[in-house]
Amino acid sequence: MPSTKTIKVVYFCSDADKDKKYLEDLEKHLSNLKRHGVIDTWHKSMIAAGKDIEIEIDRQLNEANIILPLISPDFIASDDNWNIVAKLAMERHRSRKARVISVLLRPVEDSWKFAFPNIKALPQNEKPVTSWKPYDNAFMSIAEGIREAVNDINSFPFPIKLPLQQIASGVMPAIASVFSMAGTVFSSSSKKSKRRSRKKNGSAIAFATVAAASFLLYQTSNSTETYFPKPSQTLVSTQNISPIGWIWAGRVNSASADLRDSSINPSLVPSAGALVTVDKTVKLWKNVRYSYSSNFPAYSGKLKPNQKLVILQVKRLTNPKSNSSDTQIWAQVGRCNKTCGN
């Protein structure tokens, strides 16, 4: 899996023994991502003896790229989780410094959405873990959702450390100053022989370029805030939306999140819960395999242009016999109901 940096995933779970057990099971399903350095995880049980719990939780929240509240009746009943953790997590989510993904462990009425409004929940279809048989299927769905979020974050290989106008305000005066100094050197050098002047002028310009670039790098690398671009996809709840099949959404290479030969709008690699529109007539399939495979999945119909669909799952497939960096993007879809686009 292509990754440009290790994504920090922070869980927040109730102190109930059954919820802690589900946290351990989820950790097992994410172990391969941790083993390969794709993610690094943290939860409250990892706080070392002697450390201030509140300070450590605040620090971890502020360092997290993905925040996972593990929702259960016990989580809802905890004032600390409800009033402190949820508030700080949503502040970072709204400022696009981190992404909050709710995980439903046990059935609970929808009041949890007051703390995490407009947040897509896992597992698939917002079906709690305890409603799956076996539970491993639920944890696999959660792991896939987290992997998609990691890919989404890492699809921007050079995160913007600060808004560009802030960088420019510090960098541009420095560049102007450096090039002014270079101009002085150029002027004094011109009084000497052309050959000697050409040598000094070249040195001055090289010095100015290196100095300006170094200053820009310093300004960028010393910022501690990572800015996540605002998602351009509308996310909706997939609850009560039944799958109608799979569509071929387009192709993408490892350096971009933009789809080529796209059949959907917006033409970006979609996330589960994304609301999209069919751009052209597309075939609907019962399952998905790489299109060069001789065992292509059964064809089940067509979708006409301008139909609104909800993305339920996304799969990335590559040709094992090719050295191409292209990846095919397939999406399991459901029909948008009357309210999902509102």
Cβ count near 247 (within 10 Å): 24
Return the pLDDT at 257. Answer: 58
Return the pLDDT at 105. Answer: 95
pTM for the whole structure:
0.50
CATH number of 7-154: 3.40.50.10140
Query: 41 falls in which pLDDT band (50, 70, 90)?
Result: very high
pLDDT in tens, 62-117: 899 999 999 999 998 888 887 778 888 888 888 888 999 999 999 988 878 888 88
Return the pLDDT at 256. Answer: 53
d(CA 183, CA 298): 70
DSSP 228-255: PPPP-SEE---TT--EEEEEEEEEE-TT
d(CA 341, CA 312): 15
Question: Which neighbouring-strand residues pair with 7?
Answer: 39
Return the pLDDT at 181. Answer: 54
Residue with the bigger pLDDT between 161 and 144: it is: 144
CB 246 within 8 A of CB 297: yes
Q: Which amino acid is at 282?
A: V
The whole-number average pLDDT for the span 202-210 is 56
Residue with the bigger pLDDT between 236 and 145: it is: 145
